[in-house]
Amino acid sequence: MENQILALKQFGLTEGALRRFGQCRIHVNLRSFEVTHRITTLAPADRHSYLRRQAHRWVAHMEAQYPRAGWRIDKGSRGIPMWLEGSVRGAEVATVAAEPGVQSVALLEVPGRLRRRAVRSTPWFCVRARVAIQVEGEERGLQTVEDRFMLVRAASAKDAERRLLPRWREYAKPYLNSKGQCVRWKCEEVTDVYEAVLEDEENPDMAEVYSRLSSRRMRPEFVWRSDQKGRRTTRLSRRRKKRAAA
């Protein structure tokens, strides 16, 4: 995947057109916390120090390669730089994006061009509700309950709940079942409201609609072992099997 140059559209530019401009102010995101194969082979206690050294090498390279950029460098979490800001020629922006350790470059200022504000569309909310299927006259036995998720555009979580009120009333209209009993699907309670996150609002191929964290007791099949530890575990288990066989 090619490194991205962000905000080109907001300046009304293409990557080719950007090359004709002079000094552009840019924000450079580094791959400071990217988990590579090399990281997984290190002991957890050694990983942050490795990331710190690696990020500082990238920063030193950027300072040497673009000495006139006037880089402002993020001090970063745990002393690990995460981004830089500076000015380079338009023709150099794509080169910066291709440098080692660079994840993306965002345009902040382009000489002679105004940056259009991104128009944020009304967000989507996922409303989770408990719906009881109520059958006329039934007072015993099991009652079916629906865990229902509804997507709605709204200004806020409360607005999302309000907008769905007519839908819940429509959903609860009674009908007759095969026995002639009245049945309704009644919304008992809105249990949660979650703002859906679009990965790309201009081209929403996918979206995070709902997420909820819970806890469970650890079991051996749930454990994530790195390749290094996994191989060590496998070797130990083989040795134990050989001893048992002997």
Model confidence over 89-118: pLDDT tens digits? 999 999 999 999 999 999 999 999 998 876
Q: Looking at the structure, tell me whether residues 32 and 76 fall in a common domain.
A: yes
> What Cα–Cα distance (Å) separates residue 139 from each residue in 16, 143, 200?
72, 9, 49
pLDDT of residue 91: 96
Give the span between the Cα atoms of 39 and 32, in whole angstroms.
12
Residue 115 lies in a domain: no
Q: Which of 68-77, 80-89, 177-186 has the highest mean pLDDT?
A: 80-89
- Could you read off the pLDDT of 164-180 as tens digits, one per residue? 999 999 999 999 988 88
What is the average pLDDT across 15-33? 96
Q: Structurally, how many domains does the chain consist of?
A: 2
Residue 163 has pLDDT above 50, yes or no: yes
104 CA to centre of own chain: 16
Give the span between the Cα atoms of 118 and 8, in whole angstroms.
12
Q: Looking at the structure, tell me whether residues 102 and 193 fall in a common domain.
A: no
Percent of the chain whose predicted confidence (pLDDT) is above 90: 61
Give the span between the Cα atoms of 31 and 103, in whole angstroms.
5
pLDDT of residue 4: 83
Give the span between the Cα atoms of 167 and 218, in whole angstroms.
41
Q: Which of 103, 90, 111, 95 is nearest to 16 (CA)?
A: 90
Question: What range defines the domain where residue 200 resides?
Answer: 124-208
Q: Looking at the structure, tell me whether residues 152 and 68 fall in a common domain.
A: no
Query: Of 51, 83, 109, which one is at a domain's C-terminal end?
Result: 109
- The answer to whether the pTM exceeds 0.75 is no
Q: Looking at the structure, tell me whether residues 67 and 135 fall in a common domain.
A: no
Q: Is the CA virtual torsion 9, 11, 13, 16 positive or negative?
A: negative
Reduce the DSSP state of residue 22 to 3 states and report it: coil
